[in-house]
Structure 1
Amino acid sequence: MKPAERDLPEGRHRLLKEFVMTEIDKAPRKRRAVLAAPALALAAAAAVAVPLLFGGPPAYAVTKGADGLIHITINETKDPKGLQAELQSMGANVVVDYIPIGKKCSPQPRAARFLDKEEADLAVWPAPEEHFGSFTIDPSVIGPGQTGVLEFSSSENNGGVIAGIWARVAEGPIAECVLVDTTEAPLSH
């Protein structure tokens, strides 16, 4: 079973595929290439909308590659401690927090020292092509006595969603994130 099929209720993938193929077949031959992209975009939108009507996708998905990189897909900014536990079960010593717009973590800084990206770049950018839409981290850059810190924020903007991710490696203990009001960007450090 393909990953996209797994998220759809039984029979919905077939119906969605039939719908897309019918729409493509309705188009004259020379316009097929032009209409295929909108039909596929419609199919992708429907693939997202249908699961929401029937329970929806999980808040996040995590996979670990043979190279040790961990790919994180955030579907909804909820259950950061569940994501944190799953990442830790994969060997990534990280803390995860979701920070809503109008809030920020306090205290700042949350650790005695955050390593520069040159010292330990936790985020892999750009993510490997096969994990487009995911956020990738390299847990091997987290050394003994260090902890990765992942802070995620998202907001709606003109019908779309803007997401921000802050990923760093810290030395020593990490202070608990206490959300406080702010007029600054949620991930400004």
Structure 2
Amino acid sequence: MNWPAERDLPEGRHRLLKEFVMTEIDRRPRRRRPRLAVLAAAVGLAAAAAVALPLMFGTPAYALNQRADGLIHITINEAKDPKKLQRDLRDMGANVVVDYIPRGKKCSPQPRSSHFLSPEEAPLSVFPSPEGAEPGFYIDPKVIGAGQTGVLEFSVSEQGGGVIAGIWAKVGEGPIADCELVDTTDAPLSH
């Protein structure tokens, strides 16, 4: 079957297709993380040991892995602490800003940059994923040039027993406006 090239799809349609694909890939059941306060009281642990409980019993909020070719694999398990993810990505050489967009919200103002490069000019999000790739997102930090910043907006929400995950990834020139979450009835990553 011949699939249309990525550039033949309108941007909004391409984003929706990506969100659908990531939803289907990530339909595995989630373990609930025990509440830290209840666990500490039940086990009678000292305060110093309580800090390690989320790492022992829960899945980390995200995982990063940089491949030999420079691509960075991102797995989002829980939508929290986007600024830590941003710092960790910058430590790996990716000049990006990261925001999590909950269902029913979107980033404002739009656009966040005076000029976003097209996916053909700067394909920050690698789609389709490299052969043999694990579920998650791949970005290519090498496409971010001097005076440019990558913008990663993630949407992760639980629906109907599954997890819906999506990414909006672009490279902007000049300063990037902060994301102010505002109410919307559109998809979280609609631009």
What TM-score comes out, normalization by structure 2 length? 0.70
| Residue from 168, 184, 187 that aligns with 2:186 | 184
What's the counterpart of residue 110 of structure 2?
A: 108
Q: Percent identity?
A: 68
Structure 1 outlier segments of 4+, above 4 Å: none
1:130 is displaced (CA, Å) by: 3.9
What's the counterpart of residue 11 of structure 2?
A: none
| Residue from 150, 155, 171 that aligns with 1:169 | 171
Aligned length: 143
Matched-pair contact (CA < 8 Å) for 2:64–2:72: yes
1:140 is displaced (CA, Å) by: 0.4
Structure 1 SS opposite 2:188? coil
What's the counterpart of residue 97 of structure 1?
A: 99
**1:120-140 alpha-carbon deviations (Å, 9 max, x no partner):** 000111222443212000000
**1:147-188 alpha-carbon deviations (Å, 9 max, x no partner):** 000000122222111111100000110000011111111111
Structure 1 SS opposite 2:57? coil
Matched-pair contact (CA < 8 Å) for 2:78–2:156: no
Structure 2 SS opposite 1:149? strand
For structure 2, the 5+ residue unaligned runs are 1-27, 35-55
Deviates more, 1:54-63 or 1:104-113: 54-63
Structure 1 SS opposite 2:73? strand
1:45-56 alignment runs, 5 A limit: 49=31, 52-53=33-34, 55-56=57-58
What's the counterpart of residue 85 of structure 1?
A: 87
**1:41-90 alpha-carbon deviations (Å, 9 max, x no partner):** xxx86xx63x8455301100001111111010101111100100000001
Give distance in 1, aligned partners of 2:113 and 2:160: 35
The CA RMSD measured in Å over matched residues stands at 1.7
1:11-26 alignment runs, 5 A limit: none
What TM-score comes out, normalization by structure 1 length? 0.71
| Residue from 128, 149, 153 that aligns with 2:155 | 153
Give distance in 1, aligned partners of 2:156 and 2:136: 14
For structure 1, the 5+ residue unaligned runs are 1-43
Structure 2 SS opposite 1:88? helix
